[in-house]
């Protein structure tokens, strides 16, 4: 990844920010097959919902039998509750590698570059990287300015917050597209045995609330280069889901505007 980043840096007019954006987009494109499989599996699971609801009614007093019958249904479509790890683990590995690469680039440690890359891009001369991008020095973080807060710190704080917002938006959008967004009626099932699907929904909801704050906390102390990568990744995730299941995206957008319209009507009717 380091060598690829340096190649893009050279091709994109010695602009490290643009190189990171291209790398983020490229990684998302590589992950499309995994995302497509996950989307198709979600569609299959949605088709099983009527049968799952029927099983809930039939075996509501027999959790063990309910679980067995649900597993049989899952096997029919090849569903694995841990299947999300197939897309999550590669992203985690890539992210950990990229963090090290960004650390190397932003500290000037370019020892991992292949000799032929150095010769190709710089005619054998010593290679240096310009880390300025728009209003940021991609080597710096908000914490670098925290001891003596100034106007210079605001863009870094803004970028850190943008990372969290984009993560939250991408997470919510993903839940809607995958049908894992918890519905209000599900909250009433406190005394009932939760199915694996319902447990996944609850875990996803908790994760989507915790992740943005965790990301902001990390971004505040990490180089701005990492925050830039994270933000682009989040927006690319949304675009991917939109393109992979455009019909559902269209319906989701219509439902969103319908819901916003209803909320607006309620706010007008409510007494001030």
* pLDDT values of the chain reduced to their tens digit, one per residue, 272 residues: 778 888 888 888 888 899 999 999 998 888 888 777 777 777 777 777 778 778 778 777 777 777 777 777 777 777 766 666 666 777 778 878 887 887 777 666 777 777 777 776 665 455 677 888 888 888 888 888 776 767 888 899 999 999 999 988 888 777 766 555 555 444 444 445 555 555 555 666 666 678 788 888 888 988 898 899 999 998 988 888 788 777 777 776 676 667 667 666 666 666 55
What whole-number distance in Å separates Cα of residue 176 and Cα of residue 180? Answer: 6
Q: Is 75 domain-assigned?
A: yes
Strand pairing partners for 248? none
Q: Is 268 domain-assigned?
A: no
Contact criterion met (CB below 8 Å) for 55 and 263 = no
Q: Is 22 domain-assigned?
A: yes
Number of H helices, E strands in the chain: 11, 2
Domain count for the chain = 1
For residue 69, the Cα-to-chain-centroid distance in whole angstroms is 33
Residue 187 has what pLDDT? 46
Would you state the torsion angle of the CA atoms of residues 154, 156, 159, 160, taken in this order, to the nearest 10 degrees? -110
Contact criterion met (CB below 8 Å) for 6 and 121 = yes
Q: Is 29 domain-assigned?
A: yes
Contact criterion met (CB below 8 Å) for 137 and 224 = yes
What whole-number distance in Å separates Cα of residue 10 and Cα of residue 102? Answer: 16
Give the domain extent around 237: 2-256
Residue 140 has what pLDDT? 87
Q: Give the number of other Cβ atoms within 10 Å of residue 32's Cβ.
A: 12
Contact criterion met (CB below 8 Å) for 42 and 181 = no
Residue 168 has what pLDDT? 86
Q: Is 265 domain-assigned?
A: no
Q: Is 200 domain-assigned?
A: yes
* Residues whose CB falls within 8 Å of the CB of residue 45, separated by 6 or more in sequence, listed in order: 77, 79, 179, 197
Residue 190 has what pLDDT? 45
Q: Is 270 domain-assigned?
A: no
Q: Is 178 domain-assigned?
A: yes
How far separated are the first and last CA of the chain, in Å rounded? 57
Residue 159 has what pLDDT? 92
192 is written with which tokens?
Answer: 């009932």
């Amino acid at each position: 990844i380091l060598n690829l980043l340096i190649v893009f840096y050279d091709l994109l007019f010695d602009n490290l920010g643009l190189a990171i954006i291209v790398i983020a987009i490229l990684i998302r494109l590589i992950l499309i097959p995994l995302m497509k499989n996950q989307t198709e599996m979600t569609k299959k699971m949605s088709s099983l919902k009527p049968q799952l609801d029927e099983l809930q009614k039939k075996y509501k007093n027999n959790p063990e039998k309910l679980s067995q019958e649900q597993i049989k249904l899952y096997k029919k479509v090849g569903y694995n509750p841990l299947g999300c790890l197939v897309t999550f683990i590669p992203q985690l590995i890539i992210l950990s590698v990229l963090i090290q690469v960004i650390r190397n680039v932003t500290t000037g440690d370019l020892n991992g570059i292949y000799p032929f890359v150095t010769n190709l891009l710089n005619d054998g001369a010593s290679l240096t990287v310009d880390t300025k991008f728009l209003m940021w020095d991609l080597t710096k973080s908000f914490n670098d300015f925290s001891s003596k807060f100034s106007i210079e710190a605001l863009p870094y704080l803004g970028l850190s917050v943008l990372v969290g917002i984009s993560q939250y938006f991408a997470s919510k959008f993903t839940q809607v597209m995958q049908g894992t967004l918890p519905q209000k009626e599900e909250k009433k099932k406190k005394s009932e045995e939760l199915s694996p699907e319902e447990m996944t929904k609850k875990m996803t909801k908790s994760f989507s609330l915790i992740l943005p704050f965790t990301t902001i906390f990390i971004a505040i102390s990490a180089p701005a280069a990492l925050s830039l990568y994270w933000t682009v990744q989040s927006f690319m995730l949304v675009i991917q889901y939109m393109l992979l299941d455009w019909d559902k995206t269209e319906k989701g957008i219509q439902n969103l505007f319908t819901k916003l319209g209803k909320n607006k009507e309620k706010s007008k009717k409510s007494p001030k």
